[in-house]
Amino acid sequence: MTDIVSLLHRAQYIDSIHNLSQLPPDAGIEVAIAGRSNAGKSSLINRLCRQNNLAKTSRTPGRTRQLVFFRLDPLRHLVDLPGYGYAKVSGDLKRHWRGLIQTYLDRRQALAGLVVVMDIRHPLKDLDVELIEWAGSRGLPLHLVLTKADKLGRGKQKDAFLQVRRMIAEEVGVQVFSASSGQGLDELNQVMSGWFRPDRELGAMDSPGQ
């Protein structure tokens, strides 16, 4: 566990990608984090990496409009995907986001896993289900994180967790999480450790598909 904590703590912002042609080389290991606008993605990333301002949080949903890359080491990256589902953005921008996300998830060989972030009070909205089913059909490892758990008591947290757990395939991970309290952080670290394999030396052209 110490290895993954140290690795994540070293995360640094490197680039915001608006078009697929701007992507860095498709090598090493990447883990992507996706979710509806205002689901708590940025807060999760900041807590996971123990940095208050690594991912920019905003009260304006839909502000993240690029694939944001954070470097952990030369061949390991965390990728913040654009938030989806915000009603006030234009139709053209929605189509661009969807195309950017889906093409990245479909083609990226370095992608080792996808974290789908959902507000525990409003899980499994239509676009969440669409993304989960689509990523599952690709065979991409998935882990669902129910954020803002501190907004609910333990009983309602359990009810929300079981509701999602019953509707999701057994091989898909599901957990509750609170960025403010740190609840669920150790469990998320374990998932990241399994995907990033911090105890392994990666070759220059290594990728999960090789």
Fold annotation for 2-196: Rossmann fold (3.40.50)
φ, ψ for residue 126 (rounded to 5)? Answer: -55, -45
| Rounded-to-integer distance, Cα 47 and Cα 119, Å | 16
- DSSP type of residue 34: E
Report, as an integer, the average pLDDT of 161-190. Answer: 97
| Rounded-to-integer distance, Cα 78 and Cα 68, Å | 8
Report, as an integer, the average pLDDT of 188-209. Answer: 81
Residue-level pLDDT at 87: 52
Report, as an integer, the average pLDDT of 176-199. Answer: 97
- DSSP type of residue 168: S
Report, as an integer, the average pLDDT of 11-38. Answer: 93
Report, as an integer, the average pLDDT of 26-49. Answer: 95
Domain boundaries, the chain: 2-196
CA 161 to the chain's CA centroid? 18
Q: HEC profile for 45-76?
A: HHHHCCCCCCCCCCCCCCCCCCEEEEEEECCE
Range 80-117 burial, b when 16+ CB lie within 10 A, else e:
bbbbbbbeebeeeebebbeebbeebbeebebbbbbbbb
Q: pLDDT, tens digit, for every residue of 40-91?
A: 999 999 999 999 999 976 544 444 568 999 999 999 999 999 888 755 556 6
Report, as an integer, the average pLDDT of 181-199. Answer: 97
